[in-house]
């Protein structure tokens, strides 16, 4: 039977979630997928196409704005059911995606491919994608975690006059200052180096303040003069504590503050009854990787971030 690409409709959601879970090894529920869709900023680009339907859904493509991508780039996620590969479905989906990218004038495409999947990496390579970064998830078993060996690191930070606090009860001005602090720290990470500073509304959404606010999970290290030295921010995905960002101000680096910050996040996650903490790391982020290793995070298979520039930007 000839495969045809058609536009995605809301009725495709259950089959879409089942197929993308299968391919990406995730366990997203249809409800959380739909809730996330409903929260999507309508001004931010997002389009999907599929091949097949229901249990016969053979493949799909999601073409969308993803805030971590370089300016003007759009995220491209093409996937085909493992049993339907090598029959040209990927090519069909790619043709639709390429045309859409041209139509909207995307500066380039970003794709994530599992680092355990050389065939898909090669497929993307034949379309011009090149490796840009390698990331992997790390997970900490919060049930088994013992904070005792890390208490001296906390004491050393406190001996410098550093206090650990959070955003509970913060007024609007403090929340806004915090969003700016995170936006500034984010551009200092390997993930967003060289990107423009995020609008505060984007940071607000990243920290789930728009739908699941946990000001007690936005933790600050504060110096003796009240100066903000660093932060760690945690959000929840069902029963998973996700450590979105841990960062210290450039002037507060090398003072051993990252581990105690994370320790506070771990405490709060355990108090909330969560059993696993996850974080994503850029392979080149040596200081963060070292802290995670010391705390006992276990690495999981990762992903390559691939880039395909489509047009060169004008100007100097
Ligand atoms: C990458 C992926 C989408 C490819 O899907 P696919 O349906 O196997 O893609 P195709 O069948 O079009 O292409 C696979 C290869 O099969 C062969 N092929 C294509 N059509 C064929 C046909 N009709 N008969 C025989 N062989 C065929 C070709 O060698 C083709 O590669 P090429 O187009 O680069 O020459 C799929 O492996 C996947 O879902 N991977 C996981 C998600 C992912 O990592 N996506 C990649 C980046 S977004």
The secondary structure of the chain as a DSSP string is ----EEE--GGGHHHHHHHHHHHHT----HHHHHHHHHHS-TTS-EEEEEES-GGG--EEEEEE--TTSPTTEEEEEEEE-GGGTTSSHHHHHHHHHHHHHHHHT-SEEEEEEETT-HHHHHHHHHTT-EEEEEEEEEEEETTT---GGGHHHHHHHHHTT-EEEE-TT--HHHHHHHHHHHHHHHTTSTTTTTSPPPPHHHHHHHTTTTTS--GGGEEEEE-TTS-EEEEEEEEEETTEEEEEEEEE-GGGTTSS-HHHHHHHHHHHHHHTT--EEEEEEETT-HHHHHHHHHHT-EEEEEEEEEEEE-SPPP--
Q: How far is the CA of 226 from the centre of ligand 1 (A)?
A: 56
Nearest CA to ligand 1 atom 20: 88
Do residue 158 and residue 288 come from a single domain? yes
Report residue 165 as tokens.
């606090």
What's the total number of domains in the chain?
Answer: 2
Do residue 224 and residue 102 come from a single domain? no
Q: How many C-beta atoms surround the C-beta of residue 116 within 10 A?
A: 11
Task: Indicate whether residue 110 lines ligand 1 (CB < 6 A).
Answer: no
Task: Establish if 140 belongs to a structural domain.
Answer: no
- The range of the structural domain enclosing residue 181 comes to 146-295
Task: Indicate whether residue 253 lines ligand 1 (CB < 6 A).
Answer: no
Task: Indicate whether residue 270 lines ligand 1 (CB < 6 A).
Answer: no
What is the pLDDT, as a whole number, of residue 313? 52
Task: Establish if 10 belongs to a structural domain.
Answer: yes
What is the pLDDT, as a whole number, of residue 1? 61
> To test ligand 1's pocket by mutation, which of 16, 66, 80 has the most ligand atoms within 8 angstroms of CB?
80
Q: What distances in angstroms separate CA 119 from CA 41, 86, 114, one per listed residue?
A: 34, 10, 10
Note the pTM of the prediction, 2 decimals.
Answer: 0.88
Do residue 106 and residue 174 come from a single domain? no
Is residue 38 within 8 Å of 86, Cβ to Cβ? no
Q: How far is the CA of 11 from the centre of ligand 1 (A)?
A: 26
For the CA of 119, the closest atom of ligand 1 is 37
Report residue 19 as tokens.
């197929």
The three-point CA angle 223-229-232 to 5° equals: 125
Q: CATH no. for residue 169?
A: 3.40.630.30
Nearest CA to ligand 1 atom 42: 79
Task: Indicate whether residue 127 lines ligand 1 (CB < 6 A).
Answer: no
What is the pLDDT, as a whole number, of residue 238? 83
Q: How far is the CA of 56 from the centre of ligand 1 (A)?
A: 18
What is the pLDDT, as a whole number, of residue 312? 60
For the CA of 79, the closest atom of ligand 1 is 39
What is the pLDDT, as a whole number, of residue 239? 85
Q: How far is the CA of 121 from the centre of ligand 1 (A)?
A: 10
Do residue 211 and residue 257 come from a single domain? yes
Task: Indicate whether residue 113 lines ligand 1 (CB < 6 A).
Answer: yes
- What is the distance in angstroms between the CA of the first residue and the CA of the last residue of the chain? 51
Do residue 126 and residue 150 come from a single domain? no
Nearest CA to ligand 1 atom 9: 90
Alpha-carbon distance of 50 to 93, in angstroms, equals 8
Q: What distances in angstroms separate CA 217 from CA 36, 271, 289, one per listed residue?
A: 21, 11, 21
Nearest CA to ligand 1 atom 23: 87
Do residue 13 and residue 124 come from a single domain? yes
Q: How far is the CA of 89 from the centre of ligand 1 (A)?
A: 7
Do residue 34 and residue 102 come from a single domain? yes
State which residues of the chain have pLDDT below 50: 314-316
Q: How far is the CA of 10 from the centre of ligand 1 (A)?
A: 26
Task: Establish if 268 belongs to a structural domain.
Answer: yes
Task: Establish if 100 belongs to a structural domain.
Answer: yes
For the CA of 129, the closest atom of ligand 1 is 47
What is the pLDDT, as a whole number, of residue 175? 98
Find residue 295's DSSP bridge partners: none
Nearest CA to ligand 1 atom 18: 86
Task: Establish if 316 belongs to a structural domain.
Answer: no
Alpha-carbon distance of 279 to 301, in angstroms, equals 13
Task: Establish if 314 belongs to a structural domain.
Answer: no
Report residue 205 as tokens.
């959404």
Alpha-carbon distance of 86 to 77, in angstroms, equals 17
Do residue 113 and residue 198 come from a single domain? no
Task: Establish if 236 belongs to a structural domain.
Answer: yes
Residue 288 C-alpha from the chain's centroid:
16
Find residue 309's DSSP bridge partners: 108
For the CA of 114, the closest atom of ligand 1 is 44
């Amino acid at each position: 039977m000839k495969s045809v690409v058609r536009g995605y409709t809301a009725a495709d959601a259950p089959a879409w979630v089942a197929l993308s879970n299968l391919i990406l090894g995730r366990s997203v529920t249809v409800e959380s997928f739909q809730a996330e869709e409903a929260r999507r900023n309508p001004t931010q680009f997002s389009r999907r196409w599929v091949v097949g339907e229901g249990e016969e859904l053979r493949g799909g493509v999601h073409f969308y704005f993803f805030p971590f991508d370089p300016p003007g780039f759009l995220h491209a996620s093409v996937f085909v059911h493992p049993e339907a590969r090598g029959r040209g479905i990927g090519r069909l989906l790619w043709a639709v995606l390429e045309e859409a990218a041209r139509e909207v004038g995307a500066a380039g495409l970003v794709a994530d491919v599992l680092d355990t999947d050389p065939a898909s990496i090669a497929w993307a390579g034949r379309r011009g994608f090149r490796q840009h970064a390698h990331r992997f998830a790390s997970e900490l078993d919060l049930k088994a975690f013992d904070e005792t060996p890390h208490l001296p690191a906390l004491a050393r930070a406190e001996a410098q006059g550093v206090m650990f606090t959070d955003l509970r009860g913060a007024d609007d001005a403090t929340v806004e200052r915090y969003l700016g602090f995170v936006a500034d720290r984010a551009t200092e990470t390997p993930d967003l180096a060289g990107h423009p500073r995020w609008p505060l509304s984007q940071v607000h959404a990243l920290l789930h303040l728009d739908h699941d606010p946990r000001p007690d999970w936005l933790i600050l290290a504060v110096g003796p003069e009240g100066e903000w030295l660093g932060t760690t921010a945690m959000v929840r995905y069902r029963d998973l504590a996700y450590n979105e960002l841990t960062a210290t101000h450039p002037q507060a680096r090398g003072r051993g503050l990252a581990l105690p910050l994370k320790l506070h996040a771990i405490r709060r996650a355990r108090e909330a009854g969560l059993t696993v903490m996850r974080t994503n790391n850029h392979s080149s982020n040596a200081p963060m990787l070292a802290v995670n290793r010391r705390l006992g995070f276990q690495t999981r298979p990762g992903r390559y971030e691939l880039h395909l520039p489509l047009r060169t930007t004008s100007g100097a």
